[in-house]
Every structure is written in structure tokens, then in C-alpha cells.
Amino acid sequence: MEAVKEALQEGRPVAYFPYGEGALLLVERRRSLEAFPLGQGRRLPSLAAEFPSLDWFERALWERGLELVGHPGLRPLRRHDLPYAFREFPHLHEVPVGPVHAGIIEPGHFRFSVLGERILNLEIRLGYQHRGLLGIMPGKGPEAALLLAERAGGEPVAHALAFAEAWERALGIEAPPRAQYLRRAALELERAFGHLGHLAGLFTDIGYAYGATQVGRIRALLQGEVDRLTGHRYGRNFIRAGGVWREGRPDLEALSRYQKELDWLLPRLLKHPQVLDRMRYVGVVRRVEALALGFVGPTARASGVERDLRQDDALYPAFVPVVRQGGDVLSRAQVYAEEALQALEYALRFLHQRAEGPLAVEVEAGDGEGMARVEAGRGEVFWFVRLEEGRVVQAEGVDPSFKNWRALELAVRGEGLPDFPLCNKSFDLSYAGNDL
Amino acid sequence: MSLLRTLRIGVLARALEEILQVPSQAFGYPLLQPKGLSREAREGLVKVCPSGAFFEEEGIFSLDLARCVGCGRCALVYPEAVGEMKTLEVAVVRREDLVQRVDLAAQAFLDPGPPPPPRPELRLPTLAFREVSAGDTGLADSEIALLGNPFNDMARFGFQVVASPRHGDALLVTGPVSRNMAQALERTYQAMPEPKGVVAVGNEAIAGGVFAESPEVWAGVDRVVPVDVYVPGDPPRPGAILHGLLLLTGRVVQRLVGGVVR
Ligand code: SF4
């Protein structure tokens, strides 16, 4: 137990799922992964009081029928058939929002406790998107399972990649070099596409129509290149266990043109007085909070946490993560802008470098366990699979949004209610990814 | 010519015919070839499809477009048995019109008869719609949002998104309807004034898609609220959704009958 605590003190949880008699907790410390099997007889000691980063993980385990001994406040996360009580704040006005929102977004419920216009507390209740994805995984072969993994969160390429790599590791095989490059190219295009979407959304939310239209225009053109590379507007049906299905021909010249245009455009847009006025010092997440709650991806990097899984990927030699210290909406926007440019640069590099050889290796039916992590646009995507005779026995996935949702609760504290949409957009979390 | 067009629809907006086409690099929708369905091909098709879109029953071989994720592998491996439809005019008012059924003995498609016409009270020059995501991964939602971008520019057809169901003529629903969202969906529907139309956008909304077997979903919007138009796709491209809206408002005729363009 002491070893676990020590690891959590310096690191952050990556995944926590039922395993054998108890559960397996994976912790990342100093950029390496440590595994701790905990509990027995479906009873686990709760560590959430000491390590709040484990709170949602433990609630998710409890919902799945494990007993969490000593948890300070067990409430359901995804199941709506269990009773749920919101925290009450006497004398404060309550503003309930959702699950159906005013825009075209996924459903979730937000309960604001406000004093005048100021948000003193926000409680997020999710689970509306729960489709029981992990529950229908067992028994699936590689192709049907991958279809589900691609639908686990807002970033199909990242999820498919992590899932395929987990599958390959379970069987001890590796995708050929040509597929490796193509997969990474798709991943980077997805990142650029997603980040530009966040930026366009932010500009829309502050009423900066010029910025929103310009970024939206290039984003739509970029989507055409994703379509050319993968045959799908969001990169589904592209990655398979063992490699990729096809090699499309994106227009490399067009891609570098978009990159140049963005290179000119984005820094100027982010210096516009209207942008500075509305985004600076708003929705701050401090570094200590990011570390204590184990945030990942751009959310963590905009708060000064220098961590990106691509640092460990051999295909990204001497990778330098984009980091900002401010922790506010502007810092996150700056991280998105810079990462989008960086992503396009890597995508171009991978597409130029592409190797010769087969697109995939044969995947035989076999037994084994494997796990993999991929840095998606929103942060760390994790998949674990256990296979028997080439079929899933257990699959566990963690979307980055699952780790980041509470950043929004922190960011809006003390802000005005009308700034909520802006703060929400600055994280652009996946509801489905959280609710699995 | 191009100046005229630019003056009419703007610099970026694409013409409707262009929006309703599947681009050349991507696979459209599969189309069974009644004459090429040998026993071997049929058995192979059932195996090759990752999402289980092919069925065989009592001399009838069928393909459900609402189960197809559009990977294109069937047409690649069995070109004599499966072709491709490049159109995005795939919205239908009747669920059966998304299923291609081939009578194996006659080597011909079964014709389910003419589809019912769209509801006359929804014949509207403009349409305000509300969107509800009920278990969608976010991509169908994103495609609906992209209908408003300068390339597709749905506003020129009179379509606009409204924030409240009380202001809506139509409801667009995505996702397989998770159990946890069913009540909110029903109440959104009830909050809308009559006459109101419902469009199920995407395979998951039509019949659950890859989540059909999950006990946590209703596997189909029409199990919770009545549906007027079904738009297949995974997710459907903006052009297909636009076709769905045009069909709902009675401005185009349904093209797919029994899953085949007629
Ligand atoms: S294109 Fe559709 S029908 Fe054909 S194999 Fe892929 S999912 Fe199945």
C-alpha cells in the first residue's frame, strides 16, 4: 500500500479497472508506467480521500459492483438507476442546465450554485451518453471490436490506434513501418482538425465572427484531406489490428498551404484585443490543481505540466511538448493553436517519409493481454485488452475526458455565469468518452 | 457562368448537386448486384462485413444500409456481388427503404412498392430545427453543425438551428438513444409545437448501429418518438443530412426505394 501511495504522490493514475480478484491500478510516475494489483474478493481499499485524482475511477469501479472501503462520497457516475443527490448550498440560487443544451453538442447536466452572477460551485453530472460499450466488447473479434473502440470517444483515430496497438501487443506482433507512418499521419491530422474546431468554437463564443469563419474554413478544407487519406471524414475504418486498411493520397501541397496560412493567421487572431479581453485570466486551472487531479493533454500543458506521450514515441525524435503557464482560456487557446501547427508539420513529415512494404501483417487468433496509450488531441487515450483465441474477453478503455472533466468544475469557480460556455469550450471534453 | 454562380451563392458555397455527391476518394453506399450473388459470395459477404449488414433468410439475401459503416470491404473483395452508390440522396421516410432485398431464385430486387409521401403539413419554405444527441459519439452532431459552414451553407435553403425546442419545427436526433437520455428526448419532443417532424440522423439513431445489442440503449429513435425521415450513414455526410431536411420539407422526392436508387 505504501508503494501505491508513493507512486500516486509523484505521479497520476492512468487507468483503474477490475482485474482478477480485485482491480489493477496503473500509475504514471516520471514518465514510466507502474502497475499495482489491489484488493481481493471484489473489495478494494479507497484512496480517494487522500488522492482526489482517484475519485471518479473509484466511483466507476463501485458502479460496476466492486466494494470501495472508506470512500468519502460514493455516487454513481454513469448509472442513472441508482440514487444521486446533488450537493446543496443553502441560500445560494441554483441554475440547472442540460442535459439538452442550446447548441449542437452532447448531453450532460450542469448544476450551478450562484451568488448573483458569480458561480460559487459547479457540479457536473454525466452518464447520459452511457451506451454500455465495454459491456458488449466480450466475444468480439478484432474488426467488430475495433468498430466499438472507434466509437468510444470523440477522436476515432486515437482510440482505434490505442486499441489496435493493445491488440498487437497482446499477440506479440507489430504493425509494419508503412502502417506506422500512416497511422501517425492520420493521428496528427485528427489532432489539427480537432484543435482548429476548439479554436473556431472559442471565437464563436466570444462573438469574433472573422476568426471563427477563417479557422472554420481551413478546418473544413483540412477535413477533406482526412477524407482523402482515410476514406472517412473522421478517419474511421482506417486503422486495423496489424496495420491499416488503405493508403489514401492526401494533397500534400494543399496541406502545407493550410499550414502556412494558419501560421500567419493564428498568432494574429490570438492577439486581437477582443480575444485578449475575453480569454485572458478567465477560467484558470492552476498547476497544483492539474497535478493533484491528474489532468492530461492540452488541459494540463496549458497549466504548466510538461507532459505529452509523444515524448516517448520513437517516431517523434526529440519531441518538444507545447507548454503554457497561465492555465486560463487564453493559454489553452495558445496551446491548441501551436499544437495544430505542430501536428500539421508532423503529418506532412510522416506522409513524405512513408515507407514501402505491406500495409498490414496478418493477425492470427491467439491469447494474451496488452495495453497501449496514445496522445490524442484531448490527451491520453488508454486501452487494455485480454484475448482468448483471438476474441475479446475483457476490454477496458479510458478517454482523456474522463480525467479532465473536473478541470471545468475548478475553472468556472468565481467566474461569471455567462463565461461558462467559453470555459466549457476551452476544454472541449467528450461526453461519450466519459460515459463509455 | 462562374461569376453568376458566385453572385448567387457566394465564394465558398458549393452547389447543391456537388454537396449531394460522395467525393471520389471515399466509398459511398454498397449496392447488391442480384446476378452476382453466388453462394460463395454470399457466405463471404456475411464474413467480411465488420458490422453485420448482410443477412440471408429463406431465399432472400438482404443488405441493411442502416447497419453499414461504409468501410467498402465488401465491394473490394466481391466486386461481382456488391457495387457502389455514389449519391448522398439517401434519406427515406420509410425504414424498409434502407434495406436491399434480393430474391435469389429470381435474381432480382424485391420492390416494396412506392413509399408514402412526406407529411403535407411539413411542406415548409423554411425550417427551424432543434438537435438532440442521445448517445452519439459526437460525429453525427459535428456533421449537423458543419451544415452551417460556408461550404454547405444550409441557411440558403431556409434551415436554421434554434436553441429551444419550443421554437422548432423539427427535431434532429443522433445516437442510439441511451436509456439515460430517453426521458430527456421524449420531453424535448413534447415541448415542441405541432406540426413537428423528427429526423433520425445516422445508423445509430435508425436502429442502434454497432450498439444495437447493448442493454443500455433503445437502439432506435423510433422506439421512443415517432420518426419522419431516416438518414443512413456512419455518420451521414452533411449532404445526406441536407437531403433529409429537404425531404422532410417536401422539396425533393425520395430516391431510395427498397434500398436502391429508382
Ligand atoms: S461497406 Fe458496409 S456492407 Fe460493405 S462490408 Fe463495409 S460495413 Fe459491411
Answer whether residue A290 shows pLDDT above 70: yes
Q: Residue A205's pLDDT band (boundaries 50, 70, 90)?
A: very high
Q: pLDDT tens-digit profile of A385-397?
A: 999 999 999 999 9
Question: Is residue A29 domain-resident?
Answer: yes
User: What domain range includes position A153?
Assistant: 140-426
CB of B72 shorter than 6 A to ligand 1: yes
Cell (9 digits) for A92:
445560494
Cell (9 digits) for A261:
496560412
* ipTM rounded to 2 decimals: 0.93
What's the rounded Cα separation, in Å, for the pair A319 and A345?
12
Task: Quote the percentage of chain A above a pLDDT of 70.
Answer: 100
Instruction: Let me know whether A170 and A290 are in one domain.
Output: yes
> How many CB atoms are closer than 10 A to CB A79?
17
Question: Is residue A78 domain-resident?
Answer: no
Cβ-contact A325, A153 below 8 angstroms: no
Question: Is residue A278 domain-resident?
Answer: yes
> In this complex, which of A136, A144, A154 lies closest to B137 when CB atoms are compared?
A154
Cβ-contact A212, A203 below 8 angstroms: yes
Which residues fall within 8 angstroms of residue B64, CB to CB, at 6 or more apart? Answer: B53, B55, B98, B99, B207
Question: Is residue A122 domain-resident?
Answer: no
- pLDDT of A193 reads 96
Using DSSP's 3-state secondary structure scheme, residue A357 falls into coil
Instruction: Let me know whether A64 and A166 are in one domain.
Output: no
User: B90 CA distance to ligand 1 centroid (A)?
Assistant: 16
Task: Quote the percentage of chain A above a pLDDT of 90.
Answer: 87
Last residue of one domain, picked from the residues A36, A69, A102:
A69
Number of independent structural domains in chain A? 2
Using DSSP's 3-state secondary structure scheme, residue A381 falls into strand
Cβ-contact B228, B199 below 8 angstroms: yes
Q: Residue A103's pLDDT band (boundaries 50, 70, 90)?
A: confident
- pLDDT of B12 reads 81
Length of chain B: 262
Long-range contacts (CB closer than 8 Å, 24 or more residues apart) made by B38-43: B38/B81, B41/B78, B41/B80, B41/B81, B42/B81
Stretch A222-239: mean pLDDT: 94
Question: Is residue A274 domain-resident?
Answer: yes
Cell (9 digits) for A220:
473544413
Query: What integer best gives the mean pLDDT of chain A?
Result: 93
Question: Hey, of B25, B159, B179, B218, which one would you mutate to test binding to chain A, going by the most A CBs within 10 A of its CB?
Answer: B25
- pLDDT of A354 reads 77
Note if the bond before A99 is cis, omega within 30 degrees.
Answer: yes
What's the rounded Cα separation, in Å, for the pair B155 and B161?
9
Cell (9 digits) for B204:
445509430
Cell (9 digits) for A258:
493550410
Last residue of one domain, picked from the residues A42, A69, A96:
A69
Instruction: Let me know whether A46 and A174 are in one domain.
Output: no
Residue type (1 letter), A213 = T
Residue type (1 letter), A19 = Y
Residue type (1 letter), A436 = L
List chain B domain ranges.
Answer: 120-261
Cβ-contact A259, A345 below 8 angstroms: yes
- pLDDT of B1 reads 52
- The series of mean pLDDT values per 10 residues for chain B, 262 residues long, is 70 86 90 92 93 92 94 93 93 94 92 88 92 93 92 92 93 95 95 94 94 93 95 95 95 92 85
Answer whether residue A301 shows pLDDT above 80: yes
Last residue of one domain, picked from the residues A47, A69, A91:
A69
Q: pLDDT tens-digit profile of A131-169?
A: 999 999 999 999 999 999 999 988 999 999 999 999 999
Question: Is residue A262 domain-resident?
Answer: yes
Q: Calculate how close chain B gets to A320, using CA atoms only, in Å.
A: 30
Q: Which residue has the cell 438532440?
A: B132
Question: Is residue A193 domain-resident?
Answer: yes
Q: Give how far Cα A146 sits from Cα of A194, A242, A431, B165, Å.
A: 21, 12, 20, 36
Cβ-contact A148, A164 below 8 angstroms: no
Instruction: Let me know whether A154 and A249 are in one domain.
Output: yes
CATH number (domain holding residue A249): 1.10.645.10
Touching A: B residues 107-146, CB under 8 Å: 131-139, 141-146
Answer whether residue A43 shows pLDDT above 80: yes
Instruction: Let me know whether A315 and A182 are in one domain.
Output: yes
Exposed, middle or buried by CB within 10 Å (0-12, 13-18, 19+), for A206?
A: buried
Which residues fall within 8 angstroms of residue A320, CB to CB, at 6 or more apart? Answer: none
CB of B85 shorter than 6 A to ligand 1: no
Architecture of domain B120-261: 3-Layer(aba) Sandwich (3.40)
